[in-house]
Amino acid sequence: MTRARRYIRYLVPFSLFGTHRTRQILTANPVAELKRKDVEKVAITAYDYNANNLNSAILDRIEDSFQFKGNNRTTWINVDGIRVADVEKLAAHFGIHALLAEDIVSMNQRPKMDDVDDVLFCLLNMLYFNEKSNCVEQEQISIALGKDFVITFQEDPQKDVFNPIRDKLRINNSKLRQRGPDYLCYSMLDLIVDNYFYVMEKLGDRIEQVEEEVIRKSNTHSLARINHFRKELIVLKRNIAPVRDLIGGIVRSESELLEERTLKYFKDVHDHIIQAHDLSENYRDVMISMQDLYINNVNLRMNEVMKVMAIVTCLLAPATVIGGIFGMNFDVIPTIHNEWGFFIAVGLMLLIPVWMLFMFKKRGWF
């Protein structure tokens, strides 16, 4: 049934261009009241550690995480699945401002950074590339950095790029275990930004395939794919560009939560996000050039068709003129009653087009 739908969509010209995707891209309205629905199941994990010890636990209730506050160790609490009540409880206990809690449960927020009440808050999107639909998918993630804790909120427990951090936490005396929560926050942002390059690499492979298709044979399907990937680049740029300002804000921040030795790592992430932003701009330029190439190929084929039709018209013109002259209703027409008149007329109809073809070829018109 899925395969049938995939081919049926090509029977409807407008469905080729994915207008539903356009609707998804353009419906990000921060003014609209979008109420998030509470998920049925929430996965809560806690990592409480120092340089020598690590305690990891899967928590059943949000209240079970309250015990980790103020224990002179670094704590990472990760919440997969958003419930308004859970966010409010966790924010109230760990001193996260109500405005930040409102941002956590909000939808379609622009990536940003805030420093409120001794909590450094980052909101941005993880990006994933769906290879089945060739779409860039996004998941909002909120990171709250406190004096001795990092709390992260994710929407989908099935999508996560933080497994390398979990692996490093299990290694005794690793750099992550020896540093504070600001280094943990850096590690998270670094993984998210690095994943942007993975998404762009996948998207770049698809763009290269479309370019080869356009060069070999441009058709309506090629134009539909160009239009599709231009929309995905809009999603990509809309998520990457604000992160550049987010990381830059952290680098310029004078928050006491950030150690001086950790700032150089955030500067490295800032360099990476600038590179990612420049690369997304390059992809955008490639897609614009590809669209121009498609239009030029269509015009070139049209010109070839018109040239052939013009040549055929010119070659038939002598026969039309000769046939018209000898078809006039006059009693006296030279050679009309000659026994060789018909052959002379047909010979002229053939010889003149041959001579015209020779002249066209000599002038390089085709």
Higher pLDDT, 221 or 280: 280
Which tens digits make up the pLDDT trace of 274-325?
999 999 999 888 888 888 888 888 888 888 888 888 888 888 888 888 788 7
List the 112-116 sheet strands across, edge first.
Answer: 54-59, 43-49, 74-80, 149-154, 135-145, 119-130, 112-116
Provide CB contacts within 8 A for 188, sequence distance 6+.
143, 150, 152, 162, 165
**CATH number where 329 lies:** 1.20.58
Stronger pLDDT, 231 or 27, i.e. the higher one: 231
In a domain, 303, yes or no: no
Confidence of residue 31 (pLDDT cuts 50, 70, 90): low
Classify residue 20 by its DSSP letter.
Answer: H
Q: Which two three-digit tokens encode residue 125?
A: 């999107």
Residues 86 and 201 grouped into a single domain: yes
Reduce the DSSP state of residue 180 to 3 states and report it: coil
At 291 the pLDDT is 84
The partner residues of 7 in beta bridges, in order of sequence, read none
Chosen domain end from 297, 324, 343: 297
Confidence of residue 17 (pLDDT cuts 50, 70, 90): low
pLDDT(107) > 60: yes
The highest-confidence range among 35-49, 220-234, 236-250, 328-342, by mean pLDDT, is 236-250
CA distance 304 to 366: 10
pLDDT of residue 202: 92
Tokens found for residue 130: 């769906």
Residue 51 pLDDT: 84
Q: Say whether both 287 and 317 belong to one domain.
A: no
| One domain for residues 175 and 47 | yes
Q: Characterize 228-239 residue by residue with b for buried, 16 or more Cβ atoms within 10 angstroms of its Cβ, and e for exposed.
A: bbbbbbbbbbbb
- Percent of the chain whose predicted confidence (pLDDT) is above 90: 32
Domain count of the fold of the chain: 2
Specify the range with the lowest mean pLDDT, choosing from 10-19, 42-51, 112-121, 181-190: 10-19
CATH number of the domain to which 119 belongs: 3.30.460.20
How many helices (H) does the chain have, and how many strands (E)?
A: 10, 7
**Poorest-pLDDT segment among 189-203, 205-219, 329-343, 349-363:** 329-343
Asked if 30 and 128 sit in the same domain, the reply is yes
Find the helix packing angle between 260-326 and 220-252, rounded to 10°: 160
- Check residue 187 and give its pLDDT: 94
9 with 32, same domain? yes
Residue 78 confidence (pLDDT) = 93
Q: Are 350 and 280 contained in the same domain?
A: no
Question: Are 14 and 69 part of one and the same domain?
Answer: yes
Neighbour tally for 76: CB within 10 Å: 24
Q: What pLDDT is attached to residue 279?
A: 92
Same domain, yes or no: 132 and 197: yes
Mean pLDDT in residue range 234-250: 91
Identify the domain containing residue 324 by its residue range. Answer: 308-363
Q: For residues 246 and 159, what is the distance between their CA atoms, to the nearest angstrom? A: 22
The phi and psi torsions of 291 (rounded to 5 degrees) equal -65, -40
The pLDDT value recorded for residue 11 is: 46
